[in-house]
Structure 1
Amino acid sequence: MEKRLFRDAMGKFATGITVVSTDYQNDVKGITVNSFMSLSLDPTLIAISIDKTASIYDVLLEVDTFGISILSEDQKEESMIYANQKEVETPVNFIDLAGTPVLDNALVQLSCEKESAVEAGDHMIYIAKVNDLKINDGNPLLYFSGSYQQLGE
């Protein structure tokens, strides 16, 4: 099967968009991720999948904690910045949530502690326990068929 065909097929699954962030050597590192899911309520577990060629790949191997920001519909710019699709023009605002950096004004902010990592093809799947969270009002930023989308009215 051609990789492009598989990628196009998976793009037909609409997803929310997150930014995974961590404090690494006193600098916030982040990456846009749409491969995110809830795994368990007891304990509170989530999973993310990170490409082995991603700029943050080696950083996530080293750290024990990271934040996840589920983006609101007005955070397309932040998504593009951490997907390396746009240069930073104004500073991106992060806040601290239980010791992890998360994007200010994200729809949901999670502080996570790494539980395990599983190699899966060209990706690493991280399973993490959610230690704290904050929920804000708004609508999500979505990704479908290779482009950003918003909920219809």
Structure 2
Amino acid sequence: MHANVLQAETQCVSQASFDERRFRHALGRFATGVVVISTGSGDDLHAMTANAFMSGSLKPPLIVVSVGHRARMHERLMDRALFGVSVLSEAQEPHSRHFAGEPQSRLAPRFAPVEGLADVVLLEHAAARFAARVVDRHPCGDHTLFVGEVLVFSLDEHAPLIFFGGRYGSVAASDSIQRSTAACAQESPPIAASAS
């Protein structure tokens, strides 16, 4: 039976009339968090919403973002050494929409500088924040995978914003998660660059 499933999938993918819209819909069945990728600061700041973000490694600490070739962020990450990732909290849906190209008239996003890293700022009140140095770039079809070595990170007790099937959602943080996050927060210093 397993062989039949693989054969059916292979035939479906090899058809010349590949249904990109249905493929996108299928990918949307995977629930993700939502992040804002940022690079630069001040007047040079550029930020975009994404949900193609993942951990790459614990030792060394690596994260990965996938950015489409047509996005303005792609060109910037090809030329920059540093970038930031802010994992949005459930209260930051307007930030997600804003940095996805739907300006929110009443929103005034606030970014915090990272000590020792002049070219990275991170969103305030995010569920987690990472400042990273680009260590590798991998072509991946119409996207590029940018691998970043995490130089500094922080986390807060906010429940994350979720994206599923083209819609936003949230999950309630359980008491045990909040206790764990609070314990980690006591061990972690405020955002400041580590020596690496």
Please classify the TM superposition score into its range, dividing by the shorter chain length. Answer: over 0.9
Equivalence for 1:130: 150
Q: 2: distance between equivalents of 1:126 and 1:108? A: 19
8 Å CA contact 2:95–2:107 kept in 1: the answer is: no
Equivalence for 1:64: 81
Listed as ranges, the gaps of 5+ residues in structure 1 are: none
* Number of residue pairs matched by the alignment: 153
CA shift, 1:117, in A, is 0.5
Within 5 Å, which residues of 2 pair with 1:15-94? 15-23=32-40, 26-94=43-111
2:131 to 84, 88, 111: 111
Largest Rg, 1 or 2:
2
Identity %: 31
Q: 1: distance between equivalents of 2:146 and 2:26? A: 24
- Return the structure number with greater helix share: 2
- Return the structure number with greater strand share: 1
RMSD: 1.5
**TM-score of the pair, normalised by structure 2:** 0.74
Of structures 1 and 2, the one with the larger relative CO (CA 8 A, separation 6+) is 1
TM-aligned CA distance change 1:60 to 1:88, over 3 Å: farther
The list of structure 1 runs, each at least 4 consecutive aligned residues, that deviate by more than 4 angstroms after superposition, is none
Listed as ranges, the gaps of 5+ residues in structure 2 are: 1-17, 174-196
**TM-score of the pair, normalised by structure 1:** 0.94
